[in-house]
Amino acid sequence: MNTRTLGPNKLEVSAIGLGCMGMSFGYGPAKDKREMIALIRAAVEQGVTFFDTAEVYGPYTNEELVGEALQPFREEVVIATKFGFNIQDGKMAGLNSRPAHIRKAVEASLKRLRVETIDLLYQHRVDPQVPIEEVAGTVKELIREGKARHFGLSEAGAQTIRRAHAVQPVTALQSEYSLWTRQHEREIIPTIAELGIGLVAYSPLGKGFLTGKMTKDTQLDETDFRRILPRFTPEAMQANRALVELLEKIAHRKNATPAQIALAWVLAKKPWIVPIPGTTKLHRLKENIQAASIELTAAELAEIEVAAREIPIVGRRYPEHIERMTGL
């Protein structure tokens, strides 16, 4: 697979990474650990070098899974994880990016990941109670100590990014970006383009919706967090089907799948954007990886742009109480 470079410190990763959250958390019950280890290792064998996790995924169990799966390939891969929440009784319990808490979280992540250095260390969500300069300064110290290599932010606003970058160069911003989540194009993407920061696009397949496999009749597991998302009501999914139909139209012409076109679109936007679709299935992993070889022409991109402009997206991406944590 081709590689892409993130940030001023030139972090090289595969053009498509693997988001590992759903293997342990968020999209229904945790999957079989042996099967997920095999899936992660299959991704390495097929050229994926960029793997994403976080302490809150589980909590903790996803980092342990990723650490065990990637231990034999440590020198070949880039592992990204995140800090920034209190965790109590096995659940997220509010934001916490105080310096002492960051250090405690990083020490625990290092053990679970079975590494001496975290390749890319993100603040998971901006903590309004802690100046971003303190956060960036703490990560700067951790980098000097050899406990992290690169600093990242997630779902941060433009001014927060600038302030953090002035203290410790930011390698990547991880934020949701896809054909149905494009608000970052207004201010965030121009800001990181100016600063030379990469974008790691999570949920590039619209949390599964842009694959075309979900309909208004799809029944989600009780533990699937999409049940609380406004875009996943039956009414919203029916209304947003028009976007899937657009992808299906292009996919048919390119002998591809809607998911592959959705990923190819993200890849075509900028050479420093890296999507990290998640999956728990080997055939979906292969399908996603193949998207890296699909090239959308300028005419096709323009066609998608014009058509997408006429499709209003129904539903907020998160409930308001979660949206408030994005820092935008």
Does the pLDDT value for residue 168 go beyond 70? yes
CA separation for the pair 129, 97 (Å, rounded)? 8
Catalytic residue among 27, 57, 60, 177: 57
CA separation for the pair 204, 220 (Å, rounded)? 20
pLDDT given at position 59 = 97
pLDDT given at position 322 = 80
pLDDT given at position 92 = 87
Identify whether 57 is a catalytic site residue: yes
SS (H, E, C) 166-177: HHCCEEEEEEEC
pLDDT band with cut points at 50, 70 and 90 for residue 328: very low
Residue 285 tokens, joined: 């992993």
Does the pLDDT value for residue 184 go beyond 70? yes
Task: Tell me the percentage of the chain whose pLDDT exceeds 90.
Answer: 95
> Which residue in 75, 28, 109, 68 sits closest to 281, CA to CA?
28
pLDDT given at position 320 = 84
Please say whether the beta carbons of 199 and 272 come within 8 A. Answer: yes
Q: Where are the domains of the chain?
A: 3-207+259-294
Residue for token pair 């929440």: 85
CATH class given for the domain over 3-207+259-294: alpha beta
Query: By 3-state DSSP, what share of the chain in percent is helix, strand and coil, each rounded to 5?
Result: 50, 20, 35
Which whole number is the average pLDDT over 257-279? 98
pLDDT digits (tens, 9 = 90+) for 100-135: 999 999 999 999 999 999 999 999 999 999 999 999
CA separation for the pair 84, 22 (Å, rounded)? 19
